[in-house]
């Protein structure tokens, strides 16, 4: 019945202090995808696809972006944040748990933006991204996953999560490139 799909780009947990086991490993991998996500974000902005950051709040609760940034900022994420820090144009929501839908206004925001398709980017691929994907799937969003915009501590886990999003949640998997034409990705 619907003619056009309306997508949004979800950027998950990229503001991260990496203060956990294997945090350095994940920080290194996150730096690699940060460039891709930044480019994808630019393209989305150009094509009027809304960009939504959704992020752990580091138990600050009353937290806002500046407080989370000042809590998180350190040597490990300095370069990442330079590339991927939210601007005033981006939406910014906090989440208290793994999934971006649990205990957040994400679904309401997406409804108001008339969005039915989600581009998923961020970390960790096998935890917060995967469980966000499943919650999105249960709410009947279509999923598009740029595989080079997702990272996990372990590469096998990352591949496994991507395979799962493909097989279990009907996600369309693609490799993002600067010349990707976003509209070709959307389900018809």
Residues in contact with a second copy by CB under 8 A are: 1, 53, 61-67, 86, 88, 90-99, 102-109, 111, 114, 126-127, 131, 134-135, 137-138, 140, 160, 164, 168
Asked whether the beta carbons of 161 and 130 are under 8 A apart, the reply is yes
* Beta bridge partners of residue 118, listed in sequence order: 8, 143
Q: Which is nearer to a second copy, 129 or 176 (CB)?
A: 129
**DSSP assignment, residue 125?**
I
Q: Find the shortest distance in angstroms from Cβ 16 to a second copy.
A: 16
Max Cα separation, the chain?
Answer: 50
Residue 31 or 65 with smaller CB distance to a second copy: 65
121, 40 Cβ separation under 8 angstroms: yes
Q: Can you list the alpha helix ranges (DSSP code H) found in the chain?
A: 23-46, 65-72, 78-84, 106-112, 130-138, 155-169
Complex with a second copy: residue 131 or 176, whichever CB lies closer: 131
Nearest approach, Cβ of residue 179 and a second copy (Å): 30
Closest to a second copy by CB, 29 vs 176, is 29
Least Å distance, CB 110 to a second copy, is 11
137 secondary structure, DSSP code: H
CB closer to a second copy, 91 vs 176:
91
Min separation Cβ 33 and a second copy, Å = 20
Q: How far is the CB of 56 from a second copy (least distance, A)?
A: 11
Which residue in 9, 20, 6, 45 sits closest to 149, CA to CA? Answer: 9
- Given the complex with a second copy, which of 68 and 176 has the nearer CB atom? 68
Picking from 138, 93, 86, 94, the residue whose alpha carbon sits closest to that of residue 112 is 93
Alpha-carbon distance of 162 to 157, in angstroms, equals 9
Give the nearest distance from C-beta 75 to a second copy in angstroms: 26
């Amino acid at each position: 019945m619907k003619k056009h799909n309306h997508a949004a780009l979800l950027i998950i947990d990229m503001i991260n202090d990496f203060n956990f086991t294997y945090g350095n490993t994940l920080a290194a991998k996150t730096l690699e995808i940060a460039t891709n996500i930044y480019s994808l974000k630019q393209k989305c902005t150009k094509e009027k696809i809304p960009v939504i950051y959704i992020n752990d709040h580091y138990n600050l609760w009353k937290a806002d972006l500046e407080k989370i940034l000042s809590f998180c900022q350190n040597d490990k994420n300095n370069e990442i944040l330079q590339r991927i820090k939210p601007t005033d144009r981006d939406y910014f929501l906090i989440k208290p748990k793994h999934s971006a839908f649990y205990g957040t206004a994400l679904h309401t925001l997406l409804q108001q933006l008339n969005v039915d398709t989600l581009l998923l980017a961020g970390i960790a691929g096998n935890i917060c991204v995967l469980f966000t994907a499943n919650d999105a799937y249960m709410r009947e969003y279509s999923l598009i996953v740029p595989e080079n915009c997702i990272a996990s501590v372990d590469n096998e886990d990352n591949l496994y999560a991507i395979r799962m999003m493909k097989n279990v949640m009907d996600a369309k998997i693609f490799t993002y490139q600067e010349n990707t034409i976003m509209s070709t990705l959307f389900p018809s």
